[in-house]
Amino acid sequence: MTGKKKRNGSLEKTESRDAWIMMVPAITVLLLVAVYPILRTFWLSLHEMVLTDPGTGYPFIGLENYVKIFSDKRALTSIIFTLKFTITTVSLELLIGFTAALIMNKAFRGKGLVRAAILIPWAIPTSVSALMWKFIYNDQYGLFNDILYKFGIIDSYKAWLSTADGAFMALVITDVWKTAPYMALLILAGLQMVSEDLYEAAKIDGANVFQRFRYVTLPSVKSTVLVALLFRTLDAFRVFDLVAVMTGGANGTESVSIYAYNNLMKFLDFGYGSAMAVLIFIIVFIISLLYMRVLGNQITDM
């Protein structure tokens, strides 16, 4: 018996060692493409590094770049815009995506065609869809103005992207149009895992449609919804290409990513731009931890 335990223990150690050996290439690649850039960016953020003024050298300034962020009105405005954009778009995408998923989960003729069609907006590259919607919002020949004018909602064509409220609305509509299908497909996958027996049992107990949704559907797909929210929240907070193509960050639509890019690539202020990049990483990391904590609790309760 003792010999058998020793053999089992030796086998487990061998398997564990082999597993770590096979993981070495993946860990090495991860360190090179993820960990090193993060550490390098953090190191840059602790220095004053303005490439347009190389004569000053690159002195170590500690956390001054981070302190500067919280006294920089433009940086704070970009953070507020990004949070506002994230909350608005993710909320609308959840509502529309959940509704679409519930519809696609029903049996009806042409369901396969509908599922394929709903993927089209999500499959289009963001830069392409952003350019397409920029044409739609054009104040001279845009389809959006044409429809509103024909229905008498507006009395003249408007330059939607030239005002803060109009540009924000345009960005939200475009993002929701593109990514709500992604939310719908994730939630649909969760809905298809719900057993019909649960609905039948609820019907026998006298539950109506809303009660079945509240007590059967929602608890069953809660983990799926949280995963979908996690992915979409992270994507929305890091929004870059949509804003860059449609507004370029003008009229109060400059996101955190756009502002960090401008400091790095336009102003060549690598120290301050790196601090902005690190701040984005920290916020995204905190959001991920919060979601994973809630998701972990939900899985444990199941």
Chain segment 20-56, per-residue pLDDT in tens:
888 888 888 877 888 888 889 999 999 998 888 777 7
Q: What is the pLDDT of residue 297?
A: 64
Q: Which residues lie closer than 8 Å to 100 by C-beta, 6 or more apart?
A: 118, 180, 181, 184, 188
Rounded to the nearest 5 degrees, what angle is found at the Cα of 133, between the Cα atoms of 131 and 134? Answer: 60
* Tokens (6 digits) for 258: 């756009």
Instruction: Give CA–CA dist 300/302, Å, rounded.
Output: 6
| 86 class by beta-carbon count within 10 Å (0-12 exposed, 13-18 middle, 19+ buried) | buried
Instruction: Give CA–CA dist 181/179, Å, rounded.
Output: 5
Q: Which residues lie closer than 8 Å to 30 by C-beta, 6 or more apart?
A: none
Q: What is the pLDDT of residue 212?
A: 84
Contact status, residue 280 vs residue 78, Cβ threshold 8 Å: no
User: CA Rg, the chain, in Å?
Assistant: 25
* Tokens (6 digits) for 187: 């939630």
Q: Compute CA distances 53 → 47, 48, 60, 188, whole Å.
A: 14, 10, 15, 54
DSSP state letter for 124: S
Instruction: Give CA–CA dist 144/242, Å, rounded.
Output: 18
Q: What is the pLDDT of residue 165?
A: 93
Taking the domains of the chain in order of start, what are their residue ranges? 73-301
Q: Which amino acid is at 88?
A: T
Residue recorded with tokens 């956390």? 63
Q: Which residues lie closer than 8 Å to 292 by C-beta, 6 or more apart?
A: 230
Instruction: Give CA–CA dist 104/149, Å, rounded.
Output: 33
Per-residue pLDDT of the chain (302 residues; tens, 9 = 90+): 455 555 555 666 777 777 788 888 888 887 788 888 888 999 999 999 888 877 777 889 999 999 999 999 999 999 999 999 999 999 999 999 999 998 888 877 777 788 888 889 998 999 999 999 999 999 888 899 999 999 988 888 899 999 999 999 999 999 999 999 999 999 998 888 888 888 888 888 788 888 888 888 888 888 888 888 888 998 999 999 999 999 999 899 999 999 999 999 898 999 999 999 999 999 888 988 888 787 666 544 55
Q: What is the pLDDT of residue 164?
A: 92
Rounded to the nearest 5 degrees, what angle is found at the Cα of 301, between the Cα atoms of 211 and 201? Answer: 35
* Tokens (6 digits) for 54: 């190389």
Residues counted in the chain: 302
Alpha helices in the chain, H assignment, sequence order? 2-30, 36-45, 64-69, 73-104, 111-123, 126-136, 143-150, 164-191, 196-204, 209-212, 218-237, 241-246, 256-261, 270-301
Q: Which CATH superfamily is domain 73-301 in?
A: MetI-like (1.10.3720.10)
pTM given for the model: 0.84
Q: What is the pLDDT of residue 95?
A: 94
* Tokens (6 digits) for 34: 């993820």
Q: What is the pLDDT of residue 294?
A: 74
Q: Which amino acid is at 70?
A: F
Contact status, residue 247 vs residue 253, Cβ threshold 8 Å: yes
Contact status, residue 83 vs residue 163, Cβ threshold 8 Å: no
